[in-house]
């Protein structure tokens, strides 16, 4: 990464002016509407979305436009169902999505109603606990809670996900590689032989990245 970008990143994480600008931008209902076409109800959150949300939008939109019949799951819907709400216009069947936090699910349902996001199915679940047995998905995605200890959520994800992936199905994980280095993600992935790394997408202008994980045999 170029020196000026590295400077921005270092300051960003220390709460300097870059971070302030970031907060203002990502906490603006106007930018949320502009990026995702969703009106967010008032809620005391640090940000309505983050850079990973935007990268996932850019990455997944062309894929879904080509595969409108795919069965899709978003993990960690967040307070506004902003990503599934946006992407659901490109799918022929509802995007299933859940969050571990009841308050976020309630807020996401409120946002869904306000914006008439009828092609999204929102429910509460800790990882796959409440996903009906036998459901399979062609595509899963998760903007990871990358400031939390990955052992607490990634290990469980890799353990539980395989039976819910359709043959040829993939899982796209987005994160900021500063708090969560890719090596850490891959180190955990290696413990789960049913899964393999299929792709890594990085960006020259920021340290967020997307990894795609697929079934090792399928």
List the interface residues with ligand SAM, window 153-172 (CB under 6 A). Answer: 153
49 binds ligand SAM (CB under 6 A): yes
96 binds ligand SAM (CB under 6 A): no
Query: Which residue among 8, 12, 78, 115 contacts ligand SAM (CB under 6 A)?
Result: 78
Q: Measured from the CB atom, is 213 or 218 closer to ligand SAM?
A: 213
Q: Residue 157 in 3-state DSSP?
A: helix
List the interface residues with ligand SAM, window 114-133 (CB under 6 A). Answer: 126-127
Instruction: Look up residue 173 and give its two tokens.
Output: 């994980």
Query: Which residue among 8, 64, 73, 77 contacts ligand SAM (CB under 6 A)?
Result: 77
Residue range at the interface with ligand SAM (CB under 6 A); choices 38-46, 95-103, 183-191, 197-205: 95-103
Q: Residue 104 in 3-state DSSP?
A: helix
Instruction: Look up residue 33 and give its two tokens.
Output: 């509407």
Residue range at the interface with ligand SAM (CB under 6 A); choices 5-13, 23-31, 64-72, 92-100: 92-100
Q: H or E element: which one contains 63?
A: helix 51-66
Phi, psi of 183 (to 5 degrees): -55, -35
Query: Which residue among 91, 112, 115, 143 contacts ligand SAM (CB under 6 A)?
Result: 143
Residue among 140, 137, 195 at smallest CA distance from 166: 137
The residue sitting closest to ligand SAM, measured at its beta carbon, is: 76
Strands (E), 11-136: 72-75, 95-99, 120-124
110 binds ligand SAM (CB under 6 A): no
Can you say whether the dihedral through the CA atoms of 204, 79, 141, 83 is positive or negative?
A: negative
**Residue 142 and residue 160 in contact, taking contact as beta carbons nearer than 8 Å:** no
Burial 123-159 (b: 16+ CB within 10 A, else e): ebbebbeebeeeeebbbbbbbbbbeeebeebbeebbe
Q: How far is the CB of 194 from ligand SAM (least distance, A)?
A: 19
β-pair type (137-143, 72-75): parallel
150 binds ligand SAM (CB under 6 A): no
Q: Measured from the CB atom, is 170 or 176 closer to ligand SAM?
A: 176
Number of amino acids touching ligand SAM (CB under 6 A): 19
Residues that bind ligand SAM in the complex, under the rule CB under 6 A: 49-50, 53, 75-78, 82-83, 98-101, 104, 126-127, 143, 145, 153
């Amino acid at each position: 990464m170029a020196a000026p970008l590295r400077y921005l990143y270092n300051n960003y994480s220390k709460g300097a002016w870059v971070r302030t600008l970031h907060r203002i931008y990502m906490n603006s209902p106007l930018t949320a509407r502009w990026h995702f076409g969703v009106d967010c109800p008032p809620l005391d959150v640090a940000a309505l979305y983050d850079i990973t949300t935007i990268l996932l939008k850019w990455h997944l939109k062309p894929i879904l436009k080509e595969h409108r019949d795919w069965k899709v799951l978003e993990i960690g819907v967040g307070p506004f169902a902003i990503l599934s709400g946006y992407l659901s216009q490109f799918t022929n069947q509802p995007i299933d999505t859940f969050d571990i936090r009841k308050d976020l699910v309630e807020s996401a349902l409120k946002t869904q109603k306000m914006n008439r996001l009828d092609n999204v199915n929102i429910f509460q679940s800790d990882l796959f606990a409440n996903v009906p047995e036998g459901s399979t998905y062609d595509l899963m995605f998760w903007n990871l809670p990358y400031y939390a200890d990955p052992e607490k959520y990634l290990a469980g994800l890799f353990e539980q996900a395989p039976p819910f992936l359709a043959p040829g199905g993939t899982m796209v994980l987005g994160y900021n590689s500063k708090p969560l280095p890719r090596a850490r993600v891959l180190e955990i992935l290696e413990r789960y032989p049913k899964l393999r790394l299929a792709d890594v997408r990085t960006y020259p202008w920021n340290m967020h990245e997307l990894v795609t994980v697929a079934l090792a045999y399928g």
